[in-house]
Structure 1
């Protein structure tokens, strides 16, 4: 897996309240695979993670989402935690940023509660995915086909349920990012 993503830059979109391990483990796996990783957030400075309900570590923000351009990245990771995606799903700049990856067929990986952001970005309909159990009804209501599996891949979109799924999530995420753009998904998405 080393250097599989050499030359690629991956964005991790998060804000305060992200589930610590759902950001740190994917970042570690991406860097080990040779990718450059940038933390993108609605604010500058630092964001604070959580270890379930307990306050976690801070992470330095590399770029505010307001000035982030999806064209500068080869893929997108959306960590979960309940507070993080709940906040991001109401941020116009975050939703614009997420939609841009789908508009161009770039791979996206979302874990736990992060598919909430995909719902509000308008990109969940017609996709096969999984998530944390408590938001599966939201996904179904948004038109997604929801399954209960450790990792689901739908033409460049990787989803997983919770931190227990991180090994499978990270492996599939790297595989999809290495493949690059998914032109079928782009054509399907633009036809809507």
Structure 2
């Protein structure tokens, strides 16, 4: 069932994509679903569908179900550009999405992230362990200021990123946040950023 956004908010007509897989952090995902819609944005949840018309995932904390009907495998560059932001959430989502049955080829979600970084008009939002998805394409964050979960500080430094000890860090078109529990301040910063970009 599609989410309903208000038709007179500051982000009316804006589309935000959120990646999803099992073991997602329910407070974060359900917050995004409703909070961005309050501002008028359409929120689309994307995943690797593996040839299925839809997949239902379960959350980490409460095993809450969440059904996704939009796949990433065939998402074109033109369709990707329709989004104002792409969010890689916290929890195990990134780890599950970076799986590739052929280790000589990047997972579809990793390739999607690489393509997203080639689009400066698309805000990339990565929170907590979401940085795992960038590990196979470290060049996208090399030299960028980021924050991540404390467990990944060594990883992001090995990827060539500059770790900043703040809850939310903005570096151009890249917005990062420390943990899933910071999803509300991450969302607030993203909303403000998208409103500013629309005003240009």
Between the two proteins, the alignment pairs up a number of residues equal to 176
User: Quick check: 1:97 aligned with 2:112?
Assistant: yes
Asked if structure 2 preserves the Cα contact closer than 8 Å seen for 1:38 and 1:62, the reply is no
CA deviation after TM superposition for structure 1 residue 139, in Å: 0.4
The match for 2:149 is 132
User: Quick check: 1:50 aligned with 2:64?
Assistant: no
CA deviation after TM superposition for structure 1 residue 36, in Å: 0.5
CA deviation after TM superposition for structure 1 residue 6, in Å: 0.8
**Partner SS for 1:67:** coil
The match for 1:3 is 9
Asked if structure 1 preserves the Cα contact closer than 8 Å seen for 2:19 and 2:93, the reply is no
The match for 1:188 is none
Length-normalised TM-score, structure 1: 0.84
The match for 1:169 is 186
Q: How does 1:30-49 map to 2 (within 5 A)?
A: 30-43=36-49, 44-49=54-59
User: Quick check: 1:114 aligned with 2:114?
Assistant: no
For 1:62 and 1:36, the matched residues in 2 are separated by: 15
Alignment partner of 1:27 out of 30, 33, 47: 33
For 1:179 and 1:119, the matched residues in 2 are separated by: 30
CA deviation after TM superposition for structure 1 residue 180, in Å: 4.3
Q: Quick check: which one's helix share is greater?
A: 1
The gaps in structure 2 that reach 5 residues or longer are 1-7, 101-106
For 1:178 and 1:49, the matched residues in 2 are separated by: 30
For 1:62 and 1:120, the matched residues in 2 are separated by: 26
Asked if structure 2 preserves the Cα contact closer than 8 Å seen for 1:19 and 1:80, the reply is yes
Asked if structure 2 preserves the Cα contact closer than 8 Å seen for 1:11 and 1:75, the reply is yes
Q: Quick check: which one's strand share is greater?
A: 1
For 2:67 and 2:95, the matched residues in 1 are separated by: 20
CA deviation after TM superposition for structure 1 residue 22, in Å: 2.2
The gaps in structure 1 that reach 5 residues or longer are 182-192
For 2:74 and 2:151, the matched residues in 1 are separated by: 32
